[in-house]
Amino acid sequence: MMKNKCEHCDGCEKITHRDEVIKKKLNKRLKTIEEQIRGIQNMIDSDAYCNDVLIQLLAISKSIKSVSNEIFRDTYEIKDGKAIKLIQGISEKQDG
């Protein structure tokens, strides 16, 4: 089985080097999602109305999809049709 090597060094495998600005941005968004999840836990504990909980869950789902898309865009240079087709395939699977 062939292992993927990064372009930055010979010793690492399956690692994506990210700019510190990107890391900070992603971590900030993930912490926001974490807070949203805690909010939903509190809503459930306090017997919040079902539709209100579902609306918050939908918002979290969209936030996670947004973070996933950001990671994808940061990882792959979208210069050719292959990356675009891959994005479309992922989107169709998520929506389907």
Q: Write down the pLDDT at residue 27.
A: 96
40 versus 92: which is more confidently predicted? 40
Which backbone phi and psi does 2 adopt, to 5 degrees? -85, 135
Measuring CA to CA, which residue among 26, 13, 12, 14 is closest to residue 71? 26
pLDDT at 71 over 50: yes
Q: 90 and 63 in contact (C-beta within 8 Å)?
A: no
Give residue-wise pLDDT tens across range 15-56: 777 889 989 999 999 999 999 999 999 999 999 999 999 999
Phi/psi of residue 5, nearest 5 degrees: -110, 145
Q: For residue 2, name the pLDDT band (cuts at 50, 70, 90).
A: very low
CA dist., res. 48 & res. 28, Å (int): 27
- Residue 1 — pLDDT band, cuts 50, 70, 90? very low
The domains found in the chain, sorted by start residue, are 20-95 (1.20.58.1000)
Q: Please report which confidence band the pLDDT of residue 72 belongs to, taking 50, 70 and 90 as the band edges.
A: confident
Q: What is the pLDDT of residue 70?
A: 87
| Cα–Cα distance for residue pair 40/34, rounded to 1 Å | 10
